[in-house]
Chain A
Amino acid sequence: METDVRQFRFYLAALKELAGALVGTTRHADSSIPLRDSLYRILGTFAAGRGMVLLWDEIERKLVQHATKGLRRGKTHAFALSAAEARTLAGSSRPFLVLMPPGNAEKLCAQLKPLAERMRLEWAVPLISGGSLIGLLLISTPVGGRNYSELQLDILEQMAMMIALPIADSRVRRRLAEQVHQLQTASRQLRQIYLETLRTMAGVIDGPSEDGRPSHSLRVAALAAETGRRLGLASEVCDRLYLAGLLHDIGKQIISRDLLDKHETLTLGERREIQEHPRVGYELISHLRFPWGDVARIIRHHHERLDGSGYPDRLKGDQISIEAKVLMMAEAFDSMTSDQPWRPRLSFDKVVEQIHGNLDMQFDPRVAAAMCQAVTEGLSGQARERDFIPHLEEGFDPGVIRRLLEELQRQLAKPTLRPKAKIVEI
Chain B
Amino acid sequence: MSSQDKTLQIEIQESDEYAVIIPKGYLNALIGDRIDKACEQLVERGMKYLIINFGQIELINTIGISILVGIIEKVLMRHGLVYFTELGGTNREIFEVLGLQTVAMIFPTDADALAHMRNDREIYRPAIGG
Contact = CB atoms under 8 A, between A and B. Distances in A.
A47 interface: yes
Contact of B66 (A18, A44, A144, A146): A44
Given A144-B130, A145-B129, A18 B73 contact: no
Interface string B65-102: 11101101100000000000000000001101111101
Interface in B84-130: 93-94, 96-100, 102-103, 128-130
A402 interface: no
Given A69-B70, A70-B73, A145-B129, A44 B97 contact: no
Interface residues of A, number: 26
A380 B97 CA distance: 78
A3 interface: yes
Nearest to A6: B97
Nearest to B29: A37
B29 A43 contact: no
Contacts of B103: 143-144
A227 to B, nearest CB: 57
A386 to B, nearest CB: 56
B62 interface: yes
Contacts of A101: none
Nearest to A48: B69
B90 to A, nearest CB: 10
A6 B93 contact: yes
A44 B62 contact: yes
B73 A10 contact: no
Most buried by A among B69, B98, B102: B69
A41 interface: yes
22 contacts: A7-B97, A10-B94, A37-B29, A41-B63, A41-B66, A43-B62, A44-B62, A44-B64, A45-B65, A46-B98, A47-B69, A48-B69, A49-B73, A50-B73, A69-B66, A142-B98, A143-B69, A143-B129, A144-B129, A145-B129, A146-B99, A146-B130
Interface of B: 29, 61-67, 69-70, 72-73, 93-94, 96-100, 102-103, 128-130
